Amino acid sequence: MKRRQRRTLIFCLCGMFYLCMFLNFNIDSLNNNKHTNGAFKRIHLLQSAKTSNISITTNRMYNQNPLFSKQICSEIGLRPVGQTKINTLLDFRKTGPFRFFKNYKNPCFYRNVTYLGGKELKTPTLAIRCLPYFFIVGMPKSGTTDVWHGLEQHPGVAIRHGKEPMYFTRRRYPRENWSLDQYLDHFDTATNMIKSTPSPDKWTDDDLYYFLITGEGTVDVSHDNDRWQEIPGNENCNEPRILNAHYLYHLNPNMRLIFMMRDPINRVYSDYLYESQFFGYNKTVADFHLAVLESITQHMVCRKHYSERGCAYNSSLESFKARLRVGMYYVFLEDWYRVFPKDQVMVIKFEEYMRNRIEYLKEVFKFLKLRPLSVSEEQKQRKRSISNTRSKEDRQIGDMSKKTRMLLQEFYHPFNKRLSILLNDNKYMWGS
Q: Is the pLDDT of residue 124 over 90?
A: yes
Q: pLDDT category, 1, cuts 50, 70, 90?
A: low
Q: Is the pLDDT of residue 236 over 60?
A: yes
CA distance 288 to 272: 7
CA distance 319 to 317: 7
Q: What is the mean pLDDT of residues 420-427?
A: 97
CA distance 398 to 359: 31
Q: What is the mean pLDDT of residues 310-321?
A: 93
74-100 pLDDT, tens digit per residue, is: 544 333 333 447 888 888 888 888 999
Q: What percent of the chain has pLDDT over 70?
A: 80
Q: Look at residues 170, 90, 98, 163 and name the one whose alpha carbon lies nearest to residue 130.
A: 98
Tell me, what's the pLDDT at 96? Answer: 81
Angle between helices 144-152 and 357-367 (to 10 degrees): 70
Higher pLDDT, 44 or 54: 44
Tell me, what's the pLDDT at 71? Answer: 44
CA distance 180 to 170: 13
How far is residue 333 from each of residues 266, 378, 410, measured CA to CA in Å? Answer: 19, 31, 20
Q: Are 147 and 258 in contact (CB under 8 A)?
A: yes
Q: pLDDT category, 238, cuts 50, 70, 90?
A: confident
Tell me, what's the pLDDT at 7? Answer: 63
Tell me, what's the pLDDT at 185? Answer: 97
Tell me, what's the pLDDT at 73? Answer: 65
Q: Look at residues 260, 265, 256, 255 and name the one whose alpha carbon lies nearest to residue 289.
A: 265
Q: What is the mean pLDDT of residues 221-243?
A: 91
Tell me, what's the pLDDT at 80? Answer: 32
146-165 pLDDT, tens digit per residue, is: 999 999 999 999 999 999 99
Q: Is the pLDDT of residue 344 over 90?
A: yes
Q: What is the mean pLDDT of residues 346-359?
A: 97
Residue type, 372: P
249-281 pLDDT, tens digit per residue, is: 999 999 999 999 999 999 999 999 999 888 888
Q: Is the pTM of this model over 0.95?
A: no
Q: List b or e across 99-108, with b for residues whose CB sees 16 or more CB atoms inside 10 angstroms.
A: eebebbbbbb
Tell me, what's the pLDDT at 323? Answer: 96
15-44 pLDDT, tens digit per residue, is: 555 555 544 444 344 344 433 444 444 334
Q: pLDDT category, 70, cuts 50, 70, 90?
A: very low
CA distance 118 to 123: 15
Q: pLDDT category, 134, cuts 50, 70, 90?
A: very high
Higher pLDDT, 15 or 303: 303
Q: Is the pLDDT of residue 247 over 80?
A: yes
387-417 pLDDT, tens digit per residue, is: 888 888 889 999 999 999 999 999 999 999 9
161-179 pLDDT, tens digit per residue, is: 999 999 999 999 988 889 9
Higher pLDDT, 356 or 37: 356
On average, the pLDDT of the chain sits at 84
